Amino acid sequence: MEENVAGSNPVSHPKSQNMKLSTLTEALVSSLERIKKPSNAGEKIVISRTVSAVAFLYEKVRVAMEYREDHLIRRGAIERILKRRLFLNENGRGVAEYILKELLWAKYMPNSSIPASRIEDVQTTIDKYMTLRNEIIRGRPYGEVEKIHEWILSICACEIEEKISPNFEREAFVNYIYNFFKDRFFLKDEGETASRIQIYIAIHRVFAKSDNDLIRFEILKLTFNNLVKNTWSDMENLTGDFFQHLKTVDLQLKHKVGSKLTRFIHREIAPFLTLRDLYEANPVNFRKALEDEKNFTNFIDKICRKRYDEIGRKLARAATRSIIYIFLTKMVFALALEYPFDKYILGRVDIIPLGINTLFPPILMFLILIGISPPGQENTKKIISSLKRIVWEEKEKISPLNISLKSPIRRPYLLFIFTVFYLLTFILSFGIIFYGLSLLNYSIASEIIFIFFLSLVLFFGYRIRKTGKEYVVSDKESIFTPVADFFILPILNVGKVLSAEISKLNFLVAILDFFIEAPFKAIFEIFEEWFSFIRRKKEEII
């Protein structure tokens, strides 16, 4: 396993020495060694390659309509398919096979990789959650019914994905990091239980990049023993408890302290990400790599350099996806308003503003990303040093960091002045932009659309830059950072609000799902049945 590490300013490697793992790390390694993948023996679900080729191309376009982390795309597809199937079959009777075939068509799972026996497992999940939904929504107002339906649907999709492709390793690492941090943070305004839930949520968001739907599912798994294995009859008497926990988890996911705690965890996460990479590089020899000090240092050094090399490619992929997402779901709609407004309201169409608004997003995203440079050897040394304390030493007895939403106000008059000053930055930042656009003869519609895209692209670019720094232990600010923040923060705040609100009004997605995808997939099913029929007839001849 040992390899020589080349490069400038190499990390100094100690002599080989066996190290004793900390109690917490020993528990992690043991849990990873006990993981047994579910058996995929038996007859497999087979689909037509011809149908799959067309479905795969369609899915690429459809996925671009929603901006998700790569590891969340498949689960999002399951939820989308489930929602469409339930639209025509309210209780989801007998839809499991079609859901699994659609996943195979779109190549979310390799062909012939899902055992036919998994159809019954998935149908059991659907039956369970549809029964829970029907019991919970009975007699409730429409607004509440809609929210409950969305919650249940997302949980059902999470469980379906777990049944076809479980990720036990993610759970093991999240629990490891949670146990490492659970006594290091305490929310002054909340009790111990709420504090620990918030720590668990923050770790999922930072380490596992989980969205709220996945976090909700993971918390419910911890609350209800054997949730994944239970059938609808096992949950029959737990309907009331299940709904109460749904509401409690929803409140915790919206807790204002969440973003603050997430920032604290984010500063400490790089060593844990590297530890996970070490495991994924060679799961079989993970224990050996941790127990030998020389090998451990060599491997971490190698992994860090590999990750640094990948940062540019990762950012490019993220930027491309975000631009496609903005263009397909927002720009088409915006240009549909801008051109008619200029032509029929103002009586003229100015090509320059129209061209700028079209080309501006990709150019700005490119400019945002070109300034990112990968971390260096000094960062690697910090990761190795932190990991040695985490992996080998027993957890230090330290006083927890108290976190409160209510920051102490020592000088109220200064707080008032700073607040007013910050509000003035909105006026100044957007005032400069509007003035510049007026010099280019922008109409009011073109100005609004420019601000719209400027805010969205800056927000997405900011998120992507943060992704590129996830392996950085401590990020040094440039001397120009405070000046840039002064003008950019107001625009970022607007972008954040727009991104959250407009995602709820994605009419193009609804059109695709119910007016294009539904008949499209129905045709696929007919062809799939035909090809299956031909295969059977061919086998009879042989």
357 confidence band (pLDDT: 50, 70, 90) = confident
Crossing angle of the two packed helices 96-105 and 118-137, in degrees rounded to 10: 120
Distances, alpha carbon 267 to alpha carbons 63, 111, 220, 306, 478, in Å: 31, 41, 27, 21, 18
Same domain, 207 and 321: no
Q: What is the tens place of the pLDDT at every residue in 40-83? A: 778 889 887 777 777 777 777 677 666 677 889 899 999 989 99
Same domain, 215 and 356: no
Taking 80 as the threshold, does the pLDDT of residue 265 lie above it? yes
Region of 84 on the Ramachandran plot (φ > 0 left; ψ -120 to 50 alpha; else beta): alpha
Same domain, 513 and 478: no
Burial of 262 per CB tally in 10 Å (0-12, 13-18, 19+): middle
Domain assignment present for residue 1? The answer is no
Same domain, 240 and 332: no
Burial of 14 per CB tally in 10 Å (0-12, 13-18, 19+): exposed
Same domain, 460 and 341: yes
Same domain, 524 and 434: no
Domain assignment present for residue 270? The answer is yes
Structural domain range at position 449:
315-384+405-505
Same domain, 491 and 526: no
Query: Is the separation of the CB atoms in 283 and 276 below 8 Å?
Result: no
Same domain, 240 and 204: yes
Domain assignment present for residue 392? The answer is no
Domain assignment present for residue 193? The answer is yes
Which pairs from 362-368 meet CB under 8 Å and 24+ separation? 362/323, 364/454, 364/457, 364/458, 364/461, 365/319, 365/322, 365/323, 365/457, 365/460, 365/461, 366/319, 368/457, 368/458, 368/461, 368/462, 368/464, 368/465
Euclidean distance between CA atoms 312 and 316, whole angstroms: 6
Residue 536, pLDDT score? 64
The number of folded domains in the chain is 2
Domain assignment present for residue 433? The answer is yes
Q: What is the tens place of the pLDDT at every residue in 384-399? A: 999 998 998 766 555 5
Q: pTM score, two decimals?
A: 0.79
Same domain, 243 and 362: no
**Looking up tokens 């805010």, which residue turns up?**
455
**Closest C-alpha among 455, 451, 458 to residue 433:** 451
Q: Give the residue-averaged pLDDT of 285-312.
A: 88
Domain assignment present for residue 154? The answer is yes
Domain assignment present for residue 220? The answer is yes
Same domain, 425 and 529: no
Same domain, 148 and 175: yes
Query: Is the separation of the CB atoms in 460 and 326 below 8 Å?
Result: yes
Same domain, 200 and 97: yes
